[in-house]
């Protein structure tokens, strides 16, 4: 019976070691190297050894290598440092079987250890900084970290490439993320009752489907909109991931003049079809009605989509964008100031006084503004109520929050947005629960 107990104890210890590998609890790269250590695969083993060599400032060479084993030696032929590792049978796991830890070579002979810091190794080292919804360090910060923490100098290009690899290691690849998207959206809707999610694909080769558009509005956003002023701002911003694309957003303003994100969409670009598709999905809870106002920049596709999906709504141009367009097209900064002044006036007399000043300075600018239509940019001519929302800054400030996350794979980007919204809503609900009156402070 003793041999059975011994075998059981050995088996339990082996299982613990395997579990240590699987859960990644081997410690930080470069911290330790011992006989019996296991690694999930050959690459993980090589990355660990490279960082261990960098941390201990020595260089090594491969004395023998094949898919099932590796023998490494110190670059100094007289140094006894040696490592032997094998791949376990019917497994990808590599185990360190033999290790001579002692170095008898001089520091000069160990030179070249910095060459171990390849982009792949640095990417593996940095991946924990990108885990979850972590944005991680910039290439310039990676350069400083490698220099300060590991005494290794790398180029900006290597830092950029290693960051790209760390992002993929921490968040997964873009391809994998798109494959996970349908299941993710399904689970998101189940976990957030009342949410709307729509995934639009198009036929691809060999009977498959390819991603085209994605729309998402959380249940909390939909419910909250019922208490909002009926003014929404929309905007689009480019994504920075491998497959690029564009992020479309719609936002409202709550009683405390804070941004209240309503919906997002990820599309191929800002074009007629994508904006129309976005507004069609948005209309599921933002109905077409005469009191609705949409504020945006002057993108022509937005104009066309609103005229089709929201023919009863008013459409207003962001004053900031209009001011920039004037300065860009007419090269006179004072004209931009006058246009913004005319746009914000309440009374027709004040508007025409300023507009006539614009006309006397540059008649072509006046014609440009007339062609746009006063009702689209001048508050005094707008038939509805903009509630003092004169710009699309709400949408743009939301985009700025998402700036660094725009390079994430699609699932991680959406989850970053979900996490940000749920945090905001929870904090605002807590603050609102302390209100004693019926009017926001």
Q: What is the pLDDT along the chain (441 residues), one digit of tens a residue?
A: 555 555 455 544 544 454 444 333 344 445 688 888 888 888 888 888 888 888 888 888 888 988 899 999 988 888 999 999 999 988 889 999 999 988 888 877 776 777 777 788 777 777 777 765 566 778 888 888 888 777 778 888 888 787 777 777 666 677 788 888 999 999 999 999 999 999 999 887 776 788 999 999 999 999 999 988 999 999 998 888 777 789 999 999 888 888 899 999 999 999 999 999 999 999 999 999 999 999 999 899 999 999 999 999 999 999 988 988 888 888 777 888 999 999 999 999 999 999 999 999 999 999 999 999 999 999 999 988 888 888 888 777 777 778 777 878 888 889 989 999 999 989 988 888 887 777 665
Residue-level pLDDT at 134: 60
Q: ∠94-95-96 over CA atoms, to 5°?
A: 130
What pTM was computed for the model? 0.71
Q: Which helix (H) or strand (E) holds 161?
A: helix 156-171
As a whole number of angstroms, the distance between CA 239 and CA 406 comes to: 5
Pair of tokens at residue 5: 């107990």
Residue labelled with tokens 């489907």:
209
Q: Give the span between the Cα atoms of 149 and 173, in whole angstroms.
A: 27
Residue 11 confidence (pLDDT): 47
Rounded to an integer, what distance in angstroms lies between the CA atom of residue 288 and that of residue 310? 5
Say if CB 341 and CB 312 are below 8 A apart: no
> Which residues have a Cβ under 8 Å from the Cβ of 438 and sit 6 or more positions away?
none
Residues sharing a CB contact under 8 Å with residue 183, sequence separation 6 or more, in sequence order: none
pLDDT of residue 209: 82
């Amino acid at each position: 019976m003793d041999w059975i107990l011994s075998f059981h104890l050995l088996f339990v210890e082996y299982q613990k070691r395997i579990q240590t590998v699987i859960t990644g609890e081997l410690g930080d790269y470069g911290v330790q190297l011992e006989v019996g250590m296991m690694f999930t695969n050959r690459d993980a083993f090589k990355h660990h050894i490279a960082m261990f060599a960098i941390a201990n400032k020595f260089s090594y060479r491969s004395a023998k290598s094949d898919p099932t084993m590796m023998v490494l030696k110190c670059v100094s032929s007289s140094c006894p440092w040696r490592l032997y590792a094998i791949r376990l049978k019917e497994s990808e796991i590599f185990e360190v079987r033999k290790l001579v830890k002692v170095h008898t070579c001089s520091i000069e002979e160990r030179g070249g250890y910095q060459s171990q810091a390849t982009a792949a190794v640095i990417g593996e080292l940095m991946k924990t900084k990108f885990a979850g919804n972590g944005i991680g360090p910039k290439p310039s910060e990676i350069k400083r970290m490698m220099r300060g923490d590991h005494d290794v100098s790398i180029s900006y290009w290597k830092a950029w490439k290693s960051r790209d690899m760390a992002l993929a290691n921490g968040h997964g690849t873009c391809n994998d993320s798109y494959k996970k998207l349908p299941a993710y959206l399904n689970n998101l809707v189940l976990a957030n009752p009342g949410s709307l999610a729509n995934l639009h694909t198009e036929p691809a080769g060999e009977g498959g489907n390819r991603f085209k558009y994605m729309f998402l509005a959380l249940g909390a956003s939909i419910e909250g909109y019922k208490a909002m002023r009926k003014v929404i701002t929309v905007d689009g911003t480019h994504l920075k991931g491998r497959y690029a694309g564009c992020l479309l957003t719609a936002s409202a303003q709550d009683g405390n003049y804070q941004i209240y994100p309503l919906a997002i969409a990820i599309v191929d670009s800002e074009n007629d079809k994508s904006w129309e598709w976005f507004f069609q999905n948005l209309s599921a809870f933002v109905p077409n009605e005469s009191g609705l106002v949409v504020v945006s920049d002057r993108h022509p596709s937005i104009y066309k989509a609103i005229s089709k999906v929201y023919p009863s709504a008013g459409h207003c141009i962001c004053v900031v964008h209009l001011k920039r367009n004037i300065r860009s097209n007419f090269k006179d900064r004072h004209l931009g100031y006058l246009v913004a002044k005319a746009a914000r006036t309440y009374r027709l007399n004040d508007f025409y006084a300023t507009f006539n000043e614009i006309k006397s300075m540059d008649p072509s600018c006046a014609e440009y503004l007339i062609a746009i239509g006063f009702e689209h940019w001048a508050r005094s001519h707008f038939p509805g109520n903009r509630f003092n929302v004169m710009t699309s800054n709400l949408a743009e400030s939301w985009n700025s929050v998402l700036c660094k996350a725009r390079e994430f794979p699609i699932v991680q980007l959406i989850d970053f947005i979900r996490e940000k919204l749920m945090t905001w809503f929870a904090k605002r609900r807590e603050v609102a629960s302390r209100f004693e009156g019926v009017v926001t402070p």
